[in-house]
Structure 1
Amino acid sequence: MTLARNPVIRGFAPDPSLIRVDDWYYVATSSFEWFPTIPLHRSRDLATWEYAGHVRGAVPGGSLAGVPDSAGIWAPSLSWDGERFWVVYTIVRSVGTRYFDLDTYVSTASAVDAEWTAPRRVASHGFDPALFHHEGRLWLLNMQSDHRPGGKRFDGIVLTELDRATLRPLGRTHLLLQHGKLVEGPKLLVRDGWFYLVLAEGGTGFEHGVRVARSRALTGPYELDDLPLLTTRDDPKVPLQKAGHAELVETPDGEWFLSHLTARPLHTEQGMRCPLGRETAVQAVAWDDDGWPRLRQGGWHPAVEVEVPTVTGAAPAVTPSDGDGCLAWPWSSLRAEADASWADTGARPGWIRLRGRQGPESLWDQSLLAQRLTEHRAEVEVTVEANPRSFTEAAGLLLWYNTTSYLTLDLTWAEPEGEPQRGQQWRGGGRTVLSLVESDEEGARQVAVVEVEPGRPITLGATVDGAEARFWYLRDGRRTHVGPVLDFSRLSDDYGSKLRFTGAFAGIHAQDLVNAAFTADFSGFRATFGPAEV
């Protein structure tokens, strides 16, 4: 046996949808407002995973401009019909309202790294859809939402047959289950004459869990298991928290495993916070004498270490390049794919040139490239060369959660020390400075300003240690801190008053609020992580 250590896909990889096709396992995860859309990973043994591409073109028109933070693509569900891969997912355009303003789409491909078909809209009852292929027929699972005043936003699980060619509904929609607790993320499977409905229960935070129901008939009625299959809501000391949103898969040898999301919290004075977001884990499953799935280790708490079948002669991991040179995975961009109009890798070999556009609180056109943080200890650095001539121009290094929670160390312009703004930039006056800004739901604050020599490359860095972050730059080859230690834990799902579903990133950005013409060159971006932790 091989030992898998959870999470198996680390850092912002939520809502995993797990399938097996021949000797490979595949997982699709949510991307929300980030591109590339719907990242895909694959594994031969459930323990070691590699990036396998993404569902290119998942967003009609190629843009999520204007969608709120943590909106966008929610909970894609991957499936295989014996000939093609299918993915179904929802694009959510409103968060925290009675109306999710969503559309559900289906796309297919002959291979996960092949060209995906243009997305086609299907019945859009709610988010977290799934497809069920059974005896040559195609069924769409979904949760339904009642937007009416006094209605339930999570009002049960529904099933609709779709025409395989047109994807139009066939016949009526069936209500499979309603439950007193919030249920979503339905998945269906057949085993020993039973249809099993695997459900996410209780919401996607620390109260999350997995519940199973079953029926002898596809359209119900469904009987709920008395016990949860998976949850950590009853014990905040379990190292893997928020366990939920699961899918069952059978190995070639008849063993069963479960994929699920989880999170590794920091325990702070403000409570548990999860800057790394929700991640992907696997668990071993056995079936009890009554035909219900149970965790193989007993109980319903996720295990950190799980025995999975050893695969001999597995092909070496090869990460495909589905981007433009150094802009390929693990780089990500906000609300649209990075393209040469603002992120150019050809202008200066070995460098990324960003053309500044809107600022870090924009929901539209940011020039930002970032990579997921995968451990609670990390160090990032980059060299930037730019010549800002106004306070409206800036470029630098950032630690990012969303447009309200971020930390930036930017090379920018400022007035001569002690002078108010009197248009000095129009007369060629002022200083080149590093400006450290901290932003949260209370607003943005300039934490520190340091004057630096203009017109020369400068290396910027940040060190993350649990809930703390510290920025620095190189001066005469030595690290010089900028500002105090900052609260990195605010860059998490669990800070603030609004729904937050993604995870922390480190990256580079540039802005030019006036002309959208200022450019900055970046090289040597490096992100290293401390020892892997639970």
Structure 2
Amino acid sequence: MTEIRNPILPGFNPDPSVLRVGEDYYIATSTFEWYPGVQIHHSRDLANWRLVTRPLTRAAQLDMRGDPDSGGIWAPCLTYADGLFWLVYTDVKRRDGAWKDSHNYVVTAPAIEGPWSDPVYLNSSGFDPSLFHDEDGRKWLVNMVWDHRQQGGDRFGGILCQEYSVAEKRLVGEVRNIYRGSDHKLTEGPHLYRRDGYYWLLTAEGGTGYEHAVTMARSRDLFGPYETDPQKHLLTSKDAPEAYLQRAGHADIVETQAGEHYLVHLCSRPLDATRGDAPGRVVGIHEEDARRSPLGRETAIQKLIWKAGEFPRLAHGGCVPAPTAPAPDLPEHRFAPQTGRTDFAPGALPPAFQWLRTPDSARLFSLDARPGALRLFGREAPGSLFEHALVARRQTDVAYAAETEIDYAPETCQQFAGLVAWYNGFKFHYLAVTAGDAGQRQLTVMSCPADWPMMRMEQPLAAPIDLPATGRVRLGCDVDGMTLRFRFAIEGGDWTDLGLALDQSAISDEAGNGPGNNFTGAFIGMAAHDTSGRGLHADFLHFQYEPR
């Protein structure tokens, strides 16, 4: 293996925090409103990764009922010290307007798979907390501070630093503002390192849209003053609209066993840069739509050159991220390929899938109620911030096909279940089995294509399609870049295309109210809704996802 192909974590995997323990590498990424909280991937060669755990699994650690879309878990930081893994994270309860309610916690575990402790509350002064273990054994929390007094978008008041007492399980001592950032502003995502007699402070700046950037500063003293890198940005795509990786920022650094340095960072691949997973412009679409990224914010890697006493630089030169990175001096370590088909079995939900917000998953689904099926209990409406029975996996490819099979007997139009391409409550395409006025089973499509600020739900079929009164129904979709097409088949029959070409670019960060305001990515999965309150269940017999 001579090079690593970016992104290393495709699909919604933003805000990476990277860690090496011996020969093992881990990356923790944000999960926002998706449960369980925080994704941790494992690698031994920095090129091949597998999902190893989501540590925040119970109500004592995380309860996001009521959290807004793109709230919840922001920017976790994973470190290792004193024989323990340390994970700090933010649970954002309010994200719009002048104020933010962003509560920061720390949990620990003796092994990456757990068991993970109950959380210790840290503070709520801002988000993106990071725990720094200094050479003398003392621990320091750094996080950005939110200043609601400022007008406009820049309420980012700098990077705070305060000591964490392990014995007292709380922050202690003076709170210091150690760095207010460069003139690019919106300074967040801090990580501290100790090297060559300096404290090195890595931050993200410019917001998480197309102006995003990574900035480094250093100081001889932990509390500053910090000198900003004369180059200012270690990494950014803001001046390179032609680059394959856009919105590059929010980064972390790891050193290999051989002394090589690598930077992991978030990025996105807008549709004008992805066709067959390679650079190239999609023909025949509007420029503003081409700058949409249904795959969300992903994780990429770049090799660094970090000479003693000097600011680090990208190994390939400049500050624009590259589509590939030179591989480290490590043995290649591949994992067994994942199958595209999921056949449900009693026990735990397969690791590719997540649900929304609630720790009480038994209210939403069961794998034991009907062995061989995923049973979803119809709960509140699409977009509910409390009980939304949706189980889905990330879209990780620009083009894919997905299928499921449903066994479902709705009685009213308030009961509907099926296959859904989902971003949030205002961005989705939903192929649903429901019932008409006379109780007959029907197939319908509901779509909310992010027409900000109206966010209207549309029903693009000219009329619902009548289905047999009983029997399973297969539901499928085919996504190719900007376009999603639904299809269906009754039991024993062939596929029928619905003749609709829906806008898949609407299922993206940038659609609606623009980049920097939405932080997740497209999912595809199974849902059941029952706004009558009767909780009618729908059984899904399998799920299949195949890249195209």
TM-score by length of 1: 0.93
8 A Cα contact 1:287 1:293, kept in partner: yes
Shift of 1:97: 1.7
Within a 5 Å distance, the mapping from 1:135-284 to structure 2 comes to 135-148=136-149, 150=151, 152-179=154-181, 180=183, 181-227=185-231, 228-267=233-272, 268-269=285-286, 270-271=288-289, 272-284=291-303
Deviations 1:196-253 (A, max 9, x none): 1001011111111101000111111000012211000001110111111011111111
2:457 is matched with 444
State whether residues 15 and 261 of structure 1, in contact with CA within 8 Å, keep that contact through their aligned partners in structure 2.
yes
| 1:58 Cα offset (Å) | 6.8
1:59 touches 1:119 (CA, 8 Å); kept in 2?
Answer: no
For residues 124-523 of structure 1, the aligned pairs below 5 Å read: 124-134=124-134, 135-148=136-149, 150=151, 152-179=154-181, 180=183, 181-227=185-231, 228-267=233-272, 268-269=285-286, 270-271=288-289, 272-288=291-307, 291-312=310-331, 314=333, 316=335, 325=347, 327-337=349-359, 339-415=361-437, 429-439=438-448, 440-441=450-451, 442-448=455-461, 449-475=464-490, 477-497=493-513, 499-523=517-541
Q: Is the 8 A contact 2:191 2:252 kept in 1?
A: yes
Query: In 2, Cα distance between the equivalents of 1:308 and 1:336?
Result: 40
Quick one: distance in 2 between partners of 1:350 and 1:437? Answer: 28
In structure 2, relative to structure 1, the CA distance for the partners of 1:259 and 1:59 (3 Å cut) is farther
Given that residues 58 and 107 in structure 1 are in contact (C-alpha distance below 8 angstroms), is that contact kept between their aligned partners in structure 2?
no
Alignment check: 8 A CA contact 1:447 1:483 kept: no
Q: Secondary structure at the match of 1:155?
A: strand
Compute the RMSD of aligned alpha carbons.
2.0
Q: Secondary structure at the match of 1:229?
A: strand
SS at the partner of 1:347? coil
How far off is 1:170 after superposition? Answer: 2.7
C-alpha distance 216-296 of structure 1, shift in aligned 2 (>3 A): same
Residue identity (%):
41
Question: Are the aligned partners of 2:383 and 2:425 in contact in 1 as well (CA < 8 Å)?
Answer: yes
Query: Aligned-pair distance for 1:145?
Result: 1.2
Contact 1:386–1:457 (CA<8 Å) still a contact in 2? yes
| TM-aligned CA distance change 1:507 to 1:315, over 3 Å | closer
2:98 corresponds in structure 1 to 98
TM-score of the superposed pair, with normalisation by structure 2: 0.90
Question: What is the Cα deviation at residue 55 of structure 1?
Answer: 1.4
Instruction: Give the aligned partner of residue 14 of structure 1.
Output: 14
Q: CA deviation at 1:342?
A: 3.1
CA gap of 1:163–1:318, structure 2 versus 1, over 3 A, is: farther
Inter-partner Cα distance in structure 2 for 1:138 and 1:461: 51
Code of the residue aligned with 2:509 in structure 1: it is D
In structure 1, what is the Cα distance between the partners aligned to 2:410 and 2:385?
A: 23
C-alpha distance 121-524 of structure 1, shift in aligned 2 (>3 A): same
Offset, 1:165? 1.9
Secondary structure of 1:478's aligned partner: coil
* One-letter amino acid of the structure 2 residue matched with residue 92 of structure 1: V
Partners of 1:57 and 1:260 lie apart in 2 by: 26
Number of residue pairs aligned between Structure 1 and Structure 2: 515
Residue identity matched to 1:299? G
Question: Whole-Å Cα distance in 1 between the matches of residues 308 and 334 of structure 2?
Answer: 38
Give the drift of 1:488.
0.7
Per-residue deviation at 1:177? 1.1
SS in 2 for 1:93: strand
Q: How many angstroms does 1:96 deviate by?
A: 1.9
Consecutive unaligned residues in structure 2, runs of 5 or more: 273-284, 339-344
In the TM superposition, residue 324 of structure 1 has moved relative to its aligned partner by 6.5
Q: Distance in 1 between matches of 2:348 and 2:260?
A: 40
Letter in 2 for 1:169: L
Give the AA of the match of 1:53.
T
Amino acid at match of 1:204: T
| Change over 3 Å in CA distance of 1:316–1:149 after alignment to 2 | closer
Distance in 2 between the 1:124 and 1:338 partners? 25
Q: CA deviation at 1:28?
A: 0.5
User: Which amino acid in 2 is paired with 1:507?
Assistant: G
Q: Please tell me the residue identity of whatever aligns with 1:405.
A: K
Report deviation, 1:302. 1.0
In the alignment, the residues of structure 1 paired with residue 246 and residue 259 of structure 2 have an alpha-carbon distance, to the nearest angstrom, of 28
Instruction: Go from structure 1 to structure 2 and tell me whether the alpha carbon gap of 1:168 and 1:314 turns closer, same or farther (over 3 Å shift).
Output: same
Aligned to 2:87: 87
